[in-house]
Structure 1
């Protein structure tokens, strides 16, 4: 119900002072409660420093709805990492490719290609599509996908035969009113049952993967 101040981050530009208020807001997105708290804090500062002028409650040092390195580095809202291991058989028979090819294209496209373009937090294929769809479906401000879709996608080969695919997405600045919790799925079909995926492929019915053969 209430924002709890954790720390302040200060930025100076000439005679201008920018303060970034970092607070815990529970399950709420928290923009309104932080804005009210910030306004009260600035009022208290003015009592201590009468010559201080408050130009705006928000000085864009937050930063909201704009690409910003500070959100990519320091985080904003929820910071999450999601990961999965895709068996080699699924990569070959469902995705119609190989783990080696996916790892190579992820490096060349999502990492190097994005770096060549000067991307900021855009080291992924299309995280913004999913984030925006979820926000619209849940009634959240879709414009917040700008910083919320900051994401780096990493892939590597794994498993006993080094043919399975490990993939992770790190998203440091999801501005969300959703209650994001740690979720661990050990059975791939749990994803299908939960409704997160509409694929009709039953992973358990596919031929054994590399790890099963080795066992």
Structure 2
């Protein structure tokens, strides 16, 4: 082994001894102590499939916000929401939003779409060849679906979108994935479908790629905002005027005026969505519950709508068009992440839409709380009180 190569054990690399050898290697070469990263309570044997070169842990503070009252189709009742963050005031702000929405009767949540994509591209001699291929794909959808679904127990191919450009045909395979996030599942299933296409298409395909990037995996896109990726979930609440005035120390009219003004500012800046800070809540819950943290890039896109009702109350809704969550597989089965999911009864099969509703409701609470803090001029003072951790 090269003296500068990180140690690995070819027989069993997921042991405490293997992790210790790697810590000693890093300590010797970098001149630092890894005392705290060495402290963990789980067996490294559970980690294959989650990480390579396991060396220790990075400990992040965990707090709970709530109770959050959700009136969903999958999540119903009060929940304490685990949030992992190093940003002071964040959990306090989300808890404040949860308090006022609970007093208003809770947040109504609705999952309106559910799909995960992989988007291969096929290249032909000319545009007519690509068009004819698209017609053939439409005519042979059932056989293509059978080939894809043969690779998975829970994935189902819902439909295939088609997009034409030059001499290419981009196919966007839309799968339902059960309680898994489904990126790997859809990749494997789409690959099998494409192999079937190559074997059975009567014409000539110049070449193809499994991803033509129209799924925009782990990147925000307007297409996913319109067509959905993961769960498309909507959270909404109507706050009585009296609650807004007493608890948020502002008025529905002032909140609505600030929202209109900020939307114009976001438009001028070229913002990709009109949420206040959905990434804060989503990232905090994702890390706590073992989600793929890179999916925050897609999941944080939000569509906010608000209005003052004829009765003078404040209606507020958040649509998350690309919320990618799992309650089974990936990092959800790790020791602390599993515990956090179990707190919300969101671990295991049949719980992904429930988790999506809880996260959407959490995001709404953060949007309302921060928006009110800005309007009532409490944003800076709250961060000064709770968000300063400097020597």
Q: Does 1:142 align with 2:293?
A: yes
1:52-63 mapped onto 2 (5 Å cutoff): 52-63=205-216
* Structure 2: runs of 5+ lacking an equivalent: 1-152, 328-351, 367-391
Give the Cα separation in 2 of the matches to 1:183 and 1:70.
22
- Inter-partner Cα distance in structure 2 for 1:54 and 1:19: 14
Matched, 1:76 2:225: no
**Residue in structure 2 matching 1:170, options 312, 319, 338:** 319
Q: How does 1:195-210 map to 2 (within 5 A)?
A: none
Corresponding residue of 1:180: 353
Unaligned regions of 5+ residues in structure 1, if any?
185-190, 198-215
Identify which of 244, 268, 273 aligns with 1:91.
244
- The 3 A distance-change label for structure 1 pair 53 and 139 is farther
Question: Does the 8 Å CA contact 1:103/1:155 hold for their aligned counterparts?
Answer: yes
For residues 53 and 140 of structure 1, do their structure 2 counterparts lie closer, same or farther at Cα, with a shift above 3 Å needed?
farther
Work out which of the two has the higher radius of gyration on C-alpha atoms and give 1 or 2: 2
Distance in 2 (alpha carbons) for counterparts of 1:25 and 1:96: 44
**How high is the TM-score relative to the length of structure 1?**
0.77
Distance, in Å, in 2 between the alignment partners of 1:132 and 1:159 is: 36
Counterparts of 1:24-63 in structure 2 under 5 Å?
Answer: 24-49=176-201, 51-63=204-216
Give how far 1:99 is off.
0.7
Q: Considering Cα pairs closer than 8 Å and 6+ residues apart, tell me whether 1 or 2 has the greater RCO.
A: 1
CA gap of 1:14–1:183, structure 2 versus 1, over 3 A, is closer
Higher helix share: 2
1:97-145 per-position Cα deviation (integer Å, ceiling 9, x unaligned): 1110001111110x2222222222x211001111111111111111111
Q: Distance in 2 between matches of 1:53 and 1:74?
A: 29
SS of equivalent residue, structure 1 residue 84: strand
Question: Does residue 13 of the first structure (1) align with residue 165 of the second (2)?
Answer: yes
CA distance in structure 2 between the partners assigned to 1:133 and 1:59 by the alignment: 31
| 4+ residue runs over 6 A deviation | none
Residue 53 of structure 1 deviates from its aligned partner by 4.8
TM-score in terms of structure 2 length:
0.44
Q: Distance in 2 between matches of 1:5 and 1:47?
A: 19
Match of 2:274 among 119, 123, 126: 123
Judge conservation of contact 2:235–2:317 (CA < 8 Å) in 1: yes
